[in-house]
Structure 1
Amino acid sequence: MLLSAAFAVLIGTQSLPPGSARTLSPTAQPAQPANQPKPFEFKDGDRIVWLGNTLVEREQRYGYWETALIAANADKNLTVRNLGWSGDTVFGDARAGFDNAAKGYERMVSLTLELKPTVIFVNFGSNEAFGGKEGLPKFEKGLEKLLDSLRPANARVFLLTPIPVEKSASLSDPKALNDKLAIYSGAIKAIAEKRGLPLADLFHNFQNIRSSGPFTDNGMHLTEAGYKEFAPFFTNSLVQPGTVASGEKLEPLRQAIIAKNEQFFNKWRPQNETYLFGFRKHEQGKNAKEIVEFDPFIAKAEDEIAKIRKSLNK
Protein backbone atom coordinates (compact mmCIF):
# COMPACT_ATOMS: atom_id res chain seq x y z
CA MET A 1 0.00 0.00 0.00
CA LEU A 2 1.17 3.55 -0.66
CA LEU A 3 1.42 5.01 2.81
CA SER A 4 3.03 8.40 2.34
CA ALA A 5 0.14 9.73 0.28
CA ALA A 6 -2.47 8.01 2.42
CA PHE A 7 -1.17 9.50 5.65
CA ALA A 8 -1.41 12.94 4.07
CA VAL A 9 -5.15 12.44 3.67
CA LEU A 10 -5.47 12.33 7.43
CA ILE A 11 -4.23 15.88 7.84
CA GLY A 12 -7.57 17.45 7.09
CA THR A 13 -9.85 20.21 8.30
CA GLN A 14 -12.22 18.18 10.45
CA SER A 15 -13.48 19.88 13.58
CA LEU A 16 -12.12 19.01 16.99
CA PRO A 17 -14.15 16.81 19.32
CA PRO A 18 -16.87 18.59 21.28
CA GLY A 19 -15.41 20.60 24.12
CA SER A 20 -11.80 19.97 23.10
CA ALA A 21 -11.10 22.96 20.89
CA ARG A 22 -10.18 25.09 23.89
CA THR A 23 -7.80 22.48 25.29
CA LEU A 24 -5.63 21.85 22.22
CA SER A 25 -3.33 24.52 20.88
CA PRO A 26 -4.04 25.59 17.27
CA THR A 27 -1.53 24.38 14.70
CA ALA A 28 -0.91 25.33 11.11
CA GLN A 29 -1.40 22.95 8.21
CA PRO A 30 1.91 21.30 7.31
CA ALA A 31 3.63 22.40 4.14
CA GLN A 32 4.35 19.89 1.41
CA PRO A 33 7.92 18.63 1.77
CA ALA A 34 10.41 19.76 -0.83
CA ASN A 35 11.98 16.30 -0.84
CA GLN A 36 8.91 14.13 -1.17
CA PRO A 37 9.68 10.57 0.05
CA LYS A 38 9.14 7.60 -2.18
CA PRO A 39 5.81 5.81 -1.65
CA PHE A 40 5.96 3.48 1.35
CA GLU A 41 4.85 -0.07 0.76
CA PHE A 42 4.87 -3.14 2.98
CA LYS A 43 6.35 -6.23 1.41
CA ASP A 44 5.68 -9.89 2.01
CA GLY A 45 8.08 -11.09 4.70
CA ASP A 46 8.66 -7.67 6.24
CA ARG A 47 9.99 -7.73 9.80
CA ILE A 48 8.72 -4.62 11.56
CA VAL A 49 10.18 -3.15 14.75
CA TRP A 50 8.44 -0.38 16.69
CA LEU A 51 10.71 1.89 18.72
CA GLY A 52 9.36 4.50 21.09
CA ASN A 53 8.23 5.42 24.57
CA THR A 54 5.00 4.86 26.50
CA LEU A 55 2.77 5.29 23.46
CA VAL A 56 4.50 2.39 21.69
CA GLU A 57 4.99 0.17 24.73
CA ARG A 58 1.35 0.29 25.87
CA GLU A 59 0.04 -0.46 22.37
CA GLN A 60 1.23 -4.04 22.76
CA ARG A 61 -1.23 -4.49 25.65
CA TYR A 62 -4.20 -3.76 23.42
CA GLY A 63 -2.97 -4.48 19.89
CA TYR A 64 -5.44 -2.28 18.03
CA TRP A 65 -2.84 -0.55 15.87
CA GLU A 66 -0.88 -3.69 15.10
CA THR A 67 -4.15 -5.44 14.25
CA ALA A 68 -5.02 -2.65 11.82
CA LEU A 69 -1.59 -2.94 10.21
CA ILE A 70 -1.76 -6.72 9.82
CA ALA A 71 -5.37 -6.70 8.61
CA ALA A 72 -4.53 -4.00 6.08
CA ASN A 73 -1.88 -6.31 4.66
CA ALA A 74 -3.66 -9.63 5.07
CA ASP A 75 -2.10 -10.91 1.84
CA LYS A 76 1.39 -10.52 3.30
CA ASN A 77 3.34 -12.31 5.99
CA LEU A 78 4.40 -9.51 8.35
CA THR A 79 5.98 -9.88 11.79
CA VAL A 80 5.94 -7.10 14.36
CA ARG A 81 8.20 -6.70 17.39
CA ASN A 82 7.42 -3.98 19.91
CA LEU A 83 10.52 -2.50 21.59
CA GLY A 84 8.73 0.41 23.21
CA TRP A 85 9.84 1.45 26.70
CA SER A 86 7.79 3.76 28.91
CA GLY A 87 9.40 7.11 29.60
CA ASP A 88 12.12 6.57 27.03
CA THR A 89 13.86 9.09 24.78
CA VAL A 90 16.03 8.98 21.67
CA PHE A 91 18.96 8.68 24.08
CA GLY A 92 17.73 5.44 25.65
CA ASP A 93 17.46 7.02 29.11
CA ALA A 94 14.69 4.76 30.44
CA ARG A 95 16.40 1.61 29.14
CA ALA A 96 19.57 2.30 31.07
CA GLY A 97 18.33 0.70 34.29
CA PHE A 98 21.19 0.73 36.77
CA ASP A 99 23.64 1.73 34.03
CA ASN A 100 24.20 5.09 32.39
CA ALA A 101 22.17 6.41 29.46
CA ALA A 102 24.84 5.34 26.99
CA LYS A 103 24.23 1.72 27.98
CA GLY A 104 20.49 2.17 27.46
CA TYR A 105 21.09 3.63 24.01
CA GLU A 106 23.44 0.80 23.11
CA ARG A 107 20.85 -1.71 24.28
CA MET A 108 18.10 -0.11 22.17
CA VAL A 109 20.18 -0.08 19.00
CA SER A 110 21.77 -3.51 19.41
CA LEU A 111 18.47 -5.27 20.09
CA THR A 112 16.84 -3.55 17.12
CA LEU A 113 19.65 -4.66 14.81
CA GLU A 114 19.58 -8.16 16.30
CA LEU A 115 15.95 -8.52 15.17
CA LYS A 116 17.05 -7.84 11.57
CA PRO A 117 14.13 -5.53 10.76
CA THR A 118 13.20 -4.49 7.24
CA VAL A 119 10.91 -1.73 8.55
CA ILE A 120 11.40 0.41 11.67
CA PHE A 121 8.77 2.73 13.14
CA VAL A 122 10.39 5.44 15.29
CA ASN A 123 8.23 7.43 17.71
CA PHE A 124 9.99 9.75 20.15
CA GLY A 125 9.70 13.38 21.24
CA SER A 126 6.91 13.42 23.82
CA ASN A 127 9.28 13.21 26.78
CA GLU A 128 11.97 15.37 25.21
CA ALA A 129 9.37 18.09 24.55
CA PHE A 130 9.35 18.97 28.26
CA GLY A 131 12.74 20.55 27.54
CA GLY A 132 11.07 23.21 25.40
CA LYS A 133 12.90 25.25 22.76
CA GLU A 134 16.11 25.08 24.76
CA GLY A 135 16.20 21.30 24.51
CA LEU A 136 15.22 21.10 20.84
CA PRO A 137 18.76 21.11 19.36
CA LYS A 138 19.75 18.23 21.66
CA PHE A 139 16.69 16.24 20.58
CA GLU A 140 17.30 16.89 16.88
CA LYS A 141 20.91 15.78 17.23
CA GLY A 142 19.80 12.70 19.18
CA LEU A 143 17.20 11.68 16.59
CA GLU A 144 19.69 12.13 13.77
CA LYS A 145 22.19 9.99 15.67
CA LEU A 146 19.62 7.27 16.28
CA LEU A 147 18.66 7.15 12.61
CA ASP A 148 22.33 6.90 11.68
CA SER A 149 22.84 4.13 14.25
CA LEU A 150 19.99 2.13 12.69
CA ARG A 151 21.41 2.31 9.18
CA PRO A 152 23.23 -1.04 9.41
CA ALA A 153 19.80 -2.69 9.42
CA ASN A 154 19.25 -1.36 5.90
CA ALA A 155 15.59 -1.04 6.88
CA ARG A 156 12.94 1.37 5.62
CA VAL A 157 12.35 3.84 8.43
CA PHE A 158 8.98 5.41 9.22
CA LEU A 159 8.89 8.41 11.58
CA LEU A 160 5.92 9.27 13.82
CA THR A 161 5.38 12.49 15.75
CA PRO A 162 4.12 12.52 19.36
CA ILE A 163 0.38 12.70 20.02
CA PRO A 164 -1.16 15.82 21.58
CA VAL A 165 -2.14 15.87 25.24
CA GLU A 166 -5.68 16.47 26.44
CA LYS A 167 -7.28 18.17 29.41
CA SER A 168 -7.57 15.90 32.45
CA ALA A 169 -7.69 15.96 36.24
CA SER A 170 -3.90 15.95 36.36
CA LEU A 171 -3.44 18.30 33.39
CA SER A 172 -5.93 21.14 33.66
CA ASP A 173 -4.38 23.29 30.92
CA PRO A 174 -2.59 21.31 28.18
CA LYS A 175 -1.91 24.30 25.93
CA ALA A 176 1.63 24.96 27.14
CA LEU A 177 2.71 21.35 26.66
CA ASN A 178 0.93 21.07 23.31
CA ASP A 179 2.79 24.16 22.13
CA LYS A 180 6.06 22.38 22.95
CA LEU A 181 4.88 19.15 21.32
CA ALA A 182 4.03 21.12 18.18
CA ILE A 183 7.60 22.41 18.02
CA TYR A 184 9.11 18.95 18.43
CA SER A 185 6.67 17.48 15.93
CA GLY A 186 7.78 20.13 13.47
CA ALA A 187 11.40 19.17 14.03
CA ILE A 188 10.63 15.48 13.37
CA LYS A 189 8.82 16.42 10.17
CA ALA A 190 11.78 18.51 9.05
CA ILE A 191 14.18 15.61 9.63
CA ALA A 192 11.84 13.26 7.74
CA GLU A 193 11.74 15.67 4.82
CA LYS A 194 15.51 16.13 4.81
CA ARG A 195 16.11 12.38 4.77
CA GLY A 196 13.22 11.56 2.43
CA LEU A 197 11.49 9.40 5.04
CA PRO A 198 7.72 8.80 5.31
CA LEU A 199 6.07 10.33 8.35
CA ALA A 200 2.79 9.98 10.25
CA ASP A 201 1.88 13.31 11.82
CA LEU A 202 0.04 11.96 14.87
CA PHE A 203 0.14 15.32 16.60
CA HIS A 204 -2.09 16.93 13.99
CA ASN A 205 -4.04 13.84 12.95
CA PHE A 206 -5.25 12.97 16.43
CA GLN A 207 -6.76 16.39 16.89
CA ASN A 208 -9.22 15.49 14.15
CA ILE A 209 -11.04 12.81 16.16
CA ARG A 210 -14.72 13.70 16.14
CA SER A 211 -16.04 11.82 19.16
CA SER A 212 -15.58 13.05 22.70
CA GLY A 213 -12.93 11.78 25.11
CA PRO A 214 -11.24 11.41 27.39
CA PHE A 215 -8.85 9.08 25.62
CA THR A 216 -6.07 9.17 28.20
CA ASP A 217 -5.76 8.30 31.87
CA ASN A 218 -3.71 11.38 32.76
CA GLY A 219 -3.94 13.67 29.76
CA MET A 220 -0.88 12.10 28.12
CA HIS A 221 -1.09 8.28 28.05
CA LEU A 222 -3.78 6.59 25.98
CA THR A 223 -6.25 4.22 27.58
CA GLU A 224 -7.51 1.14 25.77
CA ALA A 225 -10.40 3.26 24.53
CA GLY A 226 -7.89 5.76 23.19
CA TYR A 227 -5.95 3.16 21.23
CA LYS A 228 -9.18 1.73 19.88
CA GLU A 229 -10.55 5.16 18.93
CA PHE A 230 -7.39 6.14 17.08
CA ALA A 231 -6.93 2.79 15.30
CA PRO A 232 -9.03 3.87 12.27
CA PHE A 233 -6.51 6.64 11.62
CA PHE A 234 -3.92 3.93 11.06
CA THR A 235 -6.35 1.68 9.24
CA ASN A 236 -7.38 4.43 6.83
CA SER A 237 -3.74 5.19 6.11
CA LEU A 238 -2.77 1.59 5.41
CA VAL A 239 -5.51 0.32 3.13
CA GLN A 240 -7.65 1.32 0.22
CA PRO A 241 -11.26 2.35 0.97
CA GLY A 242 -13.67 -0.52 1.32
CA THR A 243 -11.15 -3.17 2.40
CA VAL A 244 -11.32 -2.71 6.18
CA ALA A 245 -12.76 -5.62 8.14
CA SER A 246 -15.14 -4.92 11.00
CA GLY A 247 -13.88 -4.69 14.56
CA GLU A 248 -15.81 -7.82 15.51
CA LYS A 249 -14.19 -9.81 12.72
CA LEU A 250 -10.74 -8.59 13.76
CA GLU A 251 -11.11 -9.40 17.45
CA PRO A 252 -9.63 -12.95 17.17
CA LEU A 253 -6.65 -11.46 15.33
CA ARG A 254 -6.20 -8.82 18.02
CA GLN A 255 -6.27 -11.42 20.79
CA ALA A 256 -3.67 -13.53 18.95
CA ILE A 257 -1.47 -10.46 18.56
CA ILE A 258 -1.74 -9.62 22.26
CA ALA A 259 -0.74 -13.20 23.14
CA LYS A 260 2.30 -12.96 20.83
CA ASN A 261 3.29 -9.59 22.29
CA GLU A 262 3.16 -10.98 25.81
CA GLN A 263 5.46 -13.87 24.96
CA PHE A 264 7.94 -11.61 23.19
CA PHE A 265 7.87 -9.12 26.08
CA ASN A 266 8.64 -11.94 28.52
CA LYS A 267 11.65 -12.86 26.41
CA TRP A 268 13.27 -9.48 25.92
CA ARG A 269 12.24 -7.93 29.24
CA PRO A 270 12.10 -10.73 31.84
CA GLN A 271 11.02 -9.59 35.31
CA ASN A 272 14.23 -10.92 36.85
CA GLU A 273 16.64 -9.57 34.24
CA THR A 274 18.86 -8.00 36.92
CA TYR A 275 19.57 -11.52 38.14
CA LEU A 276 19.87 -12.96 34.65
CA PHE A 277 21.92 -10.29 32.89
CA GLY A 278 22.58 -7.44 35.34
CA PHE A 279 24.85 -6.78 38.27
CA ARG A 280 23.37 -9.73 40.20
CA LYS A 281 23.80 -12.29 37.45
CA HIS A 282 26.37 -14.07 39.64
CA GLU A 283 23.33 -15.31 41.60
CA GLN A 284 21.04 -16.63 38.83
CA GLY A 285 22.88 -15.93 35.59
CA LYS A 286 22.95 -19.63 34.76
CA ASN A 287 19.19 -19.45 34.22
CA ALA A 288 19.59 -16.97 31.34
CA LYS A 289 19.70 -19.96 29.00
CA GLU A 290 15.96 -20.37 29.62
CA ILE A 291 15.19 -17.14 27.73
CA VAL A 292 15.33 -18.93 24.38
CA GLU A 293 12.59 -21.24 25.61
CA PHE A 294 10.12 -18.45 24.85
CA ASP A 295 10.84 -18.83 21.13
CA PRO A 296 8.52 -21.82 20.56
CA PHE A 297 5.67 -19.95 22.26
CA ILE A 298 6.31 -16.88 20.10
CA ALA A 299 6.42 -19.06 16.97
CA LYS A 300 3.15 -20.75 17.92
CA ALA A 301 1.51 -17.36 18.42
CA GLU A 302 2.80 -16.20 15.03
CA ASP A 303 1.29 -19.31 13.42
CA GLU A 304 -2.08 -18.43 14.95
CA ILE A 305 -1.81 -14.86 13.68
CA ALA A 306 -0.99 -16.13 10.18
CA LYS A 307 -3.95 -18.53 10.25
CA ILE A 308 -6.39 -15.80 11.22
CA ARG A 309 -4.83 -13.29 8.84
CA LYS A 310 -5.25 -15.61 5.86
CA SER A 311 -8.91 -16.16 6.74
CA LEU A 312 -9.57 -12.42 6.34
CA ASN A 313 -9.12 -12.75 2.57
CA LYS A 314 -11.78 -15.45 2.26
Structure 2
Amino acid sequence: MFLSSALVALSLAAPPAPFEFKDGDRIVWLGGTLVEREQRYGYWEAALLAANPGKKLTVRNLGWSGDTVHGESRGRFDYNNADKCFKQLVEPALELKPTVIFISYGTNESFDGKDGLPKFEKGLEKLLDALKPANARIVLFPPLPYEGPAAARNADLKLYGDAVRAVAEKRQATFADPGAALPAGGAAQRLTENGVHLTEEGYRLTTPAALAALGLPAGTGTADWTKLDSVRQAVLAKNEQFFNKWRPQNETYLFGFRKHEQGRNAKEIAEFDPFIAKLEDEIAVRLKELNK
Protein backbone atom coordinates (compact mmCIF):
# COMPACT_ATOMS: atom_id res chain seq x y z
CA MET A 1 0.00 0.00 0.00
CA PHE A 2 1.23 3.50 -0.83
CA LEU A 3 0.51 5.00 2.58
CA SER A 4 2.50 2.41 4.52
CA SER A 5 5.36 2.69 2.01
CA ALA A 6 5.39 6.46 2.38
CA LEU A 7 5.49 6.26 6.16
CA VAL A 8 8.36 3.78 6.05
CA ALA A 9 10.23 6.12 3.73
CA LEU A 10 9.58 8.99 6.11
CA SER A 11 10.99 7.04 9.04
CA LEU A 12 14.22 6.37 7.13
CA ALA A 13 14.70 9.84 5.67
CA ALA A 14 16.54 12.57 7.54
CA PRO A 15 14.01 14.94 9.10
CA PRO A 16 13.63 18.24 7.25
CA ALA A 17 14.45 21.50 8.92
CA PRO A 18 11.35 22.42 10.91
CA PHE A 19 9.28 25.34 9.79
CA GLU A 20 7.63 27.19 12.63
CA PHE A 21 4.13 28.50 12.04
CA LYS A 22 3.14 31.42 14.22
CA ASP A 23 -0.23 32.39 15.59
CA GLY A 24 -1.83 34.79 13.12
CA ASP A 25 0.20 33.67 10.11
CA ARG A 26 -1.33 34.57 6.75
CA ILE A 27 -0.19 31.96 4.24
CA VAL A 28 -0.36 32.67 0.51
CA TRP A 29 0.26 29.76 -1.81
CA LEU A 30 1.55 30.34 -5.35
CA GLY A 31 1.99 27.68 -7.99
CA GLY A 32 0.52 25.82 -10.91
CA THR A 33 -1.91 22.93 -11.27
CA LEU A 34 -0.84 21.09 -8.11
CA VAL A 35 -1.67 24.16 -6.03
CA GLU A 36 -4.88 25.17 -7.78
CA ARG A 37 -6.35 21.69 -7.58
CA GLU A 38 -5.54 21.34 -3.88
CA GLN A 39 -8.16 23.96 -3.08
CA ARG A 40 -10.79 21.63 -4.58
CA TYR A 41 -9.95 18.89 -2.09
CA GLY A 42 -8.44 20.67 0.90
CA TYR A 43 -6.61 17.73 2.46
CA TRP A 44 -3.23 19.42 2.77
CA GLU A 45 -4.71 22.65 4.08
CA ALA A 46 -7.05 21.00 6.60
CA ALA A 47 -4.24 18.81 7.95
CA LEU A 48 -1.89 21.78 8.15
CA LEU A 49 -4.41 23.69 10.27
CA ALA A 50 -5.03 20.66 12.49
CA ALA A 51 -1.29 20.18 12.95
CA ASN A 52 -1.02 23.65 14.50
CA PRO A 53 -3.47 23.57 17.42
CA GLY A 54 -3.94 26.85 19.23
CA LYS A 55 -2.69 28.89 16.27
CA LYS A 56 -4.96 30.88 14.01
CA LEU A 57 -3.65 30.39 10.48
CA THR A 58 -5.28 31.57 7.26
CA VAL A 59 -4.50 30.14 3.85
CA ARG A 60 -5.16 31.83 0.53
CA ASN A 61 -4.66 29.66 -2.54
CA LEU A 62 -3.50 31.67 -5.58
CA GLY A 63 -2.63 28.63 -7.67
CA TRP A 64 -3.26 28.81 -11.41
CA SER A 65 -3.19 25.72 -13.59
CA GLY A 66 -0.36 25.61 -16.08
CA ASP A 67 1.44 28.52 -14.46
CA THR A 68 5.18 29.22 -14.30
CA VAL A 69 7.42 31.52 -12.27
CA HIS A 70 6.81 34.10 -15.00
CA GLY A 71 3.04 34.12 -14.46
CA GLU A 72 2.44 33.05 -18.05
CA SER A 73 -0.97 31.47 -17.37
CA ARG A 74 -2.27 34.58 -15.61
CA GLY A 75 -2.16 36.92 -18.58
CA ARG A 76 -5.87 36.80 -19.40
CA PHE A 77 -5.99 39.09 -22.45
CA ASP A 78 -2.33 40.06 -22.12
CA TYR A 79 -0.61 36.73 -22.71
CA ASN A 80 1.94 38.40 -24.98
CA ASN A 81 2.84 41.00 -22.37
CA ALA A 82 5.32 39.38 -19.99
CA ASP A 83 5.29 42.33 -17.60
CA LYS A 84 1.51 42.24 -17.18
CA CYS A 85 1.53 38.48 -16.70
CA PHE A 86 4.15 38.80 -13.98
CA LYS A 87 2.30 41.61 -12.24
CA GLN A 88 -0.82 39.44 -12.09
CA LEU A 89 1.27 36.85 -10.27
CA VAL A 90 2.93 39.20 -7.78
CA GLU A 91 0.37 41.93 -7.05
CA PRO A 92 -2.49 39.70 -5.78
CA ALA A 93 -0.02 37.97 -3.45
CA LEU A 94 1.27 41.22 -1.99
CA GLU A 95 -2.25 42.61 -1.59
CA LEU A 96 -3.01 39.78 0.83
CA LYS A 97 -0.17 40.92 3.14
CA PRO A 98 1.20 37.41 3.72
CA THR A 99 3.54 36.50 6.54
CA VAL A 100 4.32 33.15 4.86
CA ILE A 101 4.48 32.42 1.13
CA PHE A 102 4.46 28.87 -0.25
CA ILE A 103 5.94 28.77 -3.76
CA SER A 104 5.55 25.65 -5.89
CA TYR A 105 7.02 25.88 -9.40
CA GLY A 106 9.23 23.95 -11.78
CA THR A 107 6.83 21.33 -13.15
CA ASN A 108 5.82 23.16 -16.32
CA GLU A 109 9.22 24.75 -16.77
CA SER A 110 10.86 21.30 -16.70
CA PHE A 111 9.55 20.58 -20.19
CA ASP A 112 12.38 22.84 -21.42
CA GLY A 113 14.85 20.30 -20.06
CA LYS A 114 18.38 21.10 -19.00
CA ASP A 115 18.65 23.97 -21.46
CA GLY A 116 15.78 25.75 -19.75
CA LEU A 117 17.29 25.67 -16.26
CA PRO A 118 18.99 29.11 -16.42
CA LYS A 119 15.72 30.77 -17.47
CA PHE A 120 13.84 29.02 -14.66
CA GLU A 121 16.43 29.92 -12.04
CA LYS A 122 16.46 33.53 -13.17
CA GLY A 123 12.67 33.62 -13.12
CA LEU A 124 12.49 32.15 -9.62
CA GLU A 125 15.02 34.66 -8.34
CA LYS A 126 13.03 37.48 -9.96
CA LEU A 127 9.82 36.26 -8.33
CA LEU A 128 11.45 36.09 -4.90
CA ASP A 129 12.83 39.61 -5.33
CA ALA A 130 9.39 40.89 -6.35
CA LEU A 131 7.82 39.35 -3.24
CA LYS A 132 10.35 40.92 -0.86
CA PRO A 133 8.06 43.83 0.11
CA ALA A 134 5.87 41.33 1.96
CA ASN A 135 8.78 40.53 4.30
CA ALA A 136 7.27 37.03 4.47
CA ARG A 137 8.95 33.75 5.35
CA ILE A 138 9.39 31.75 2.17
CA VAL A 139 8.84 28.03 1.66
CA LEU A 140 9.94 26.61 -1.69
CA PHE A 141 8.49 23.35 -2.98
CA PRO A 142 10.10 21.37 -5.85
CA PRO A 143 8.02 19.54 -8.46
CA LEU A 144 6.44 16.27 -7.39
CA PRO A 145 7.65 13.22 -9.33
CA TYR A 146 5.40 11.64 -11.95
CA GLU A 147 4.31 8.02 -11.92
CA GLY A 148 3.46 5.30 -14.42
CA PRO A 149 4.74 5.89 -17.98
CA ALA A 150 5.04 9.62 -17.23
CA ALA A 151 7.82 8.77 -14.76
CA ALA A 152 10.19 8.85 -17.73
CA ARG A 153 10.23 12.63 -17.16
CA ASN A 154 11.36 12.41 -13.56
CA ALA A 155 15.01 13.07 -14.41
CA ASP A 156 14.09 16.53 -15.71
CA LEU A 157 11.79 17.14 -12.75
CA LYS A 158 14.66 16.31 -10.40
CA LEU A 159 16.92 18.78 -12.21
CA TYR A 160 14.42 21.53 -11.57
CA GLY A 161 13.84 20.37 -8.02
CA ASP A 162 17.57 20.54 -7.37
CA ALA A 163 17.56 24.08 -8.76
CA VAL A 164 14.77 25.02 -6.34
CA ARG A 165 16.78 23.54 -3.48
CA ALA A 166 19.86 25.55 -4.48
CA VAL A 167 17.87 28.79 -4.58
CA ALA A 168 16.35 27.98 -1.18
CA GLU A 169 19.81 27.44 0.30
CA LYS A 170 21.10 30.63 -1.28
CA ARG A 171 18.16 32.65 0.03
CA GLN A 172 18.03 30.87 3.40
CA ALA A 173 14.45 29.92 2.63
CA THR A 174 12.78 26.70 3.74
CA PHE A 175 12.93 23.87 1.20
CA ALA A 176 10.00 21.49 1.60
CA ASP A 177 9.96 18.36 -0.57
CA PRO A 178 6.93 16.08 -0.17
CA GLY A 179 8.23 14.00 -3.07
CA ALA A 180 11.20 12.83 -1.00
CA ALA A 181 8.84 10.58 0.96
CA LEU A 182 7.00 9.14 -2.04
CA PRO A 183 7.86 5.84 -3.73
CA ALA A 184 9.59 6.05 -7.08
CA GLY A 185 7.24 6.14 -10.07
CA GLY A 186 6.42 2.68 -11.27
CA ALA A 187 4.17 1.03 -13.80
CA ALA A 188 1.05 1.41 -11.69
CA GLN A 189 -0.66 4.76 -11.26
CA ARG A 190 -1.49 5.01 -7.58
CA LEU A 191 -1.87 8.71 -6.89
CA THR A 192 -2.70 10.40 -10.19
CA GLU A 193 -5.30 10.29 -12.91
CA ASN A 194 -2.74 10.46 -15.71
CA GLY A 195 0.65 9.98 -14.09
CA VAL A 196 0.88 13.75 -13.56
CA HIS A 197 -2.09 15.27 -11.72
CA LEU A 198 -3.05 14.03 -8.27
CA THR A 199 -6.52 12.64 -7.81
CA GLU A 200 -8.55 13.46 -4.71
CA GLU A 201 -7.25 10.24 -3.19
CA GLY A 202 -3.76 11.27 -4.25
CA TYR A 203 -4.00 14.47 -2.22
CA ARG A 204 -5.30 12.54 0.77
CA LEU A 205 -2.55 9.93 0.62
CA THR A 206 0.23 12.50 0.12
CA THR A 207 -0.89 14.58 3.11
CA PRO A 208 1.55 12.88 5.55
CA ALA A 209 4.40 13.60 3.13
CA ALA A 210 3.32 17.23 2.72
CA LEU A 211 3.25 17.74 6.50
CA ALA A 212 6.56 15.97 7.00
CA ALA A 213 8.15 18.22 4.37
CA LEU A 214 7.27 21.15 6.61
CA GLY A 215 8.80 19.46 9.65
CA LEU A 216 5.46 18.45 11.13
CA PRO A 217 4.78 14.89 12.35
CA ALA A 218 3.67 12.76 9.42
CA GLY A 219 0.54 11.51 11.13
CA THR A 220 -0.55 14.82 12.61
CA GLY A 221 -4.22 15.45 12.02
CA THR A 222 -4.56 12.65 9.46
CA ALA A 223 -5.13 9.58 11.60
CA ASP A 224 -8.92 9.89 11.38
CA TRP A 225 -10.20 11.65 8.28
CA THR A 226 -13.79 10.96 9.31
CA LYS A 227 -13.14 13.31 12.23
CA LEU A 228 -11.01 15.83 10.34
CA ASP A 229 -13.39 15.95 7.41
CA SER A 230 -15.62 18.51 9.14
CA VAL A 231 -12.65 20.91 9.06
CA ARG A 232 -11.93 20.02 5.44
CA GLN A 233 -15.51 20.75 4.39
CA ALA A 234 -15.32 24.21 5.96
CA VAL A 235 -11.98 24.76 4.21
CA LEU A 236 -13.55 23.81 0.87
CA ALA A 237 -16.42 26.25 1.40
CA LYS A 238 -13.97 29.04 2.26
CA ASN A 239 -11.81 28.24 -0.76
CA GLU A 240 -14.81 28.42 -3.06
CA GLN A 241 -15.83 31.84 -1.79
CA PHE A 242 -12.28 33.16 -2.05
CA PHE A 243 -11.89 31.78 -5.57
CA ASN A 244 -15.10 33.49 -6.62
CA LYS A 245 -13.72 36.75 -5.27
CA TRP A 246 -10.27 36.78 -6.83
CA ARG A 247 -11.13 35.00 -10.08
CA PRO A 248 -14.72 35.98 -10.95
CA GLN A 249 -15.95 34.37 -14.14
CA ASN A 250 -17.10 37.69 -15.60
CA GLU A 251 -14.03 39.75 -14.71
CA THR A 252 -13.84 41.16 -18.25
CA TYR A 253 -17.13 42.93 -17.55
CA LEU A 254 -16.15 43.86 -14.00
CA PHE A 255 -12.60 45.12 -14.52
CA GLY A 256 -11.59 44.60 -18.16
CA PHE A 257 -12.19 46.23 -21.49
CA ARG A 258 -15.96 45.69 -21.22
CA LYS A 259 -16.38 47.20 -17.78
CA HIS A 260 -18.33 50.07 -19.34
CA GLU A 261 -21.16 47.54 -19.68
CA GLN A 262 -21.30 46.02 -16.18
CA GLY A 263 -18.46 47.67 -14.29
CA ARG A 264 -20.89 49.02 -11.72
CA ASN A 265 -21.17 45.46 -10.40
CA ALA A 266 -17.48 45.40 -9.44
CA LYS A 267 -18.47 46.68 -5.99
CA GLU A 268 -20.03 43.29 -5.32
CA ILE A 269 -16.59 41.64 -5.20
CA ALA A 270 -16.00 43.08 -1.73
CA GLU A 271 -19.24 41.46 -0.61
CA PHE A 272 -17.51 38.09 -0.61
CA ASP A 273 -15.40 39.18 2.37
CA PRO A 274 -18.06 38.66 5.07
CA PHE A 275 -18.78 35.16 3.73
CA ILE A 276 -15.07 34.30 3.78
CA ALA A 277 -14.69 35.69 7.31
CA LYS A 278 -17.70 33.71 8.52
CA LEU A 279 -16.23 30.51 7.08
CA GLU A 280 -12.87 31.24 8.72
CA ASP A 281 -14.75 31.43 12.03
CA GLU A 282 -16.42 28.11 11.21
CA ILE A 283 -13.04 26.52 10.52
CA ALA A 284 -11.81 27.76 13.91
CA VAL A 285 -14.87 26.29 15.67
CA ARG A 286 -14.39 22.92 14.02
CA LEU A 287 -10.69 22.88 14.84
CA LYS A 288 -11.50 23.59 18.44
CA GLU A 289 -13.96 20.71 18.50
CA LEU A 290 -11.34 18.48 16.91
CA ASN A 291 -8.88 19.21 19.71
CA LYS A 292 -11.28 18.61 22.62
**What secondary structure does 1:174 align onto?**
helix
Within 5 Å, give how 1:1-314 maps onto structure 2. Answer: 10=10, 12=12, 39-99=18-78, 100-167=81-148, 172-175=149-152, 177-207=153-183, 213-236=189-212, 237-240=214-217, 244=221, 245-314=223-292
TM-score with structure 1 length normalisation? 0.83
Which residue type is aligned with residue 176 of structure 2? A
1:178 deviates by: 0.9
**What secondary structure does 1:157 align onto?**
strand
Judge conservation of contact 1:96–1:102 (CA < 8 Å) in 2. Answer: no
1:207 deviates by: 2.8
Judge conservation of contact 1:44–1:76 (CA < 8 Å) in 2. Answer: yes
* Aligned residue pair count: 279
Query: Which protein has the bigger helix share?
Result: 2
RMSD of aligned alpha carbons = 2.3
TM-score with structure 2 length normalisation? 0.89
**What secondary structure does 2:194 align onto?**
coil
1:104 deviates by: 1.8
**CA 1:189–1:297: 2 relative to 1, 3 Å:** same
The gaps in structure 1 that reach 5 residues or longer are: 1-8, 14-29
**CA 1:81–1:173: 2 relative to 1, 3 Å:** closer
Which residue type is aligned with residue 45 of structure 2? E
The gaps in structure 2 that reach 5 residues or longer are: 1-8
* Rounded Cα–Cα distance in structure 1 between residues aligned with 2:218 and 2:75: 43
**What secondary structure does 2:182 align onto?**
helix
1:285 deviates by: 1.3
Which residue type is aligned with residue 136 of structure 2? A
* Rounded Cα–Cα distance in structure 1 between residues aligned with 2:185 and 2:51: 21
**CA 1:241–1:130: 2 relative to 1, 3 Å:** closer
Which residue type is aligned with residue 62 of structure 1? Y
1:305 deviates by: 0.2
Higher relative contact order (CA 8 A, sep 6+): 1
**CA 1:98–1:252: 2 relative to 1, 3 Å:** same
* Rounded Cα–Cα distance in structure 2 between residues aligned with 1:173 and 1:213: 10
Deviates more, 1:184-193 or 1:243-252: 243-252
* Rounded Cα–Cα distance in structure 1 between residues aligned with 2:24 and 2:66: 31
